[in-house]
């Protein structure tokens, strides 16, 4: 019988900087909650890392014109506010 080989996962490294005050606050919070900073950060971003791997819904894209609420559906006339 042949052995079943598990698929190896590939990991990517992400790094960012925290100020000394932020790191102290993170460590104190983790100590109080009996967790590690890595587990806390992974839990905090889990929604974004698991739900958007295939396709990103259109409501999460930003538009080039952030003030499009002042235009009607055709985009060439302004709406009357009052």
Q: State the Cα–Cα distance between residues 82 and 42, nearest whole angstrom.
A: 48
Question: Average pLDDT for residues 34-38, to the nearest whole number?
Answer: 96
Q: What is the average per-residue pLDDT within 18-46?
A: 96
pLDDT at 79 exceeding the cut of 60: no
Whether 45 and 52 have beta carbons less than 8 Å apart is answered as no
Per-residue b or e along 20-31, where b marks 16 or more CB atoms closer than 10 Å to that residue's CB: eeeeeeeeeebe
Using CA atoms, how far residue 30 sits from 8, 47, 53, in Å, is: 30, 20, 28
pLDDT recorded at residue 82: 54
> Domain spans of the chain?
18-52
Tens of pLDDT, residues 66-76: 565 665 665 55
Task: Centre a 10 Å sphere on the Cβ of residue 41 and count the other Cβ atoms it contains.
Answer: 14
């Amino acid at each position: 019988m042949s052995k079943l080989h598990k698929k190896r996962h590939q990991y990517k490294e992400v790094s960012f900087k925290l100020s000394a005050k932020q790191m102290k606050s993170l460590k104190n919070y983790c100590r109080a909650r009996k967790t590690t900073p890595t587990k806390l950060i992974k839990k905090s971003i889990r929604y974004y890392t698991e739900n958007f791997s295939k396709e990103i819904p259109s409501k999460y894209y930003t538009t080039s014109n952030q003030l499009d609420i002042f235009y009607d559906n055709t985009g060439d006339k302004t709406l009357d506010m009052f």
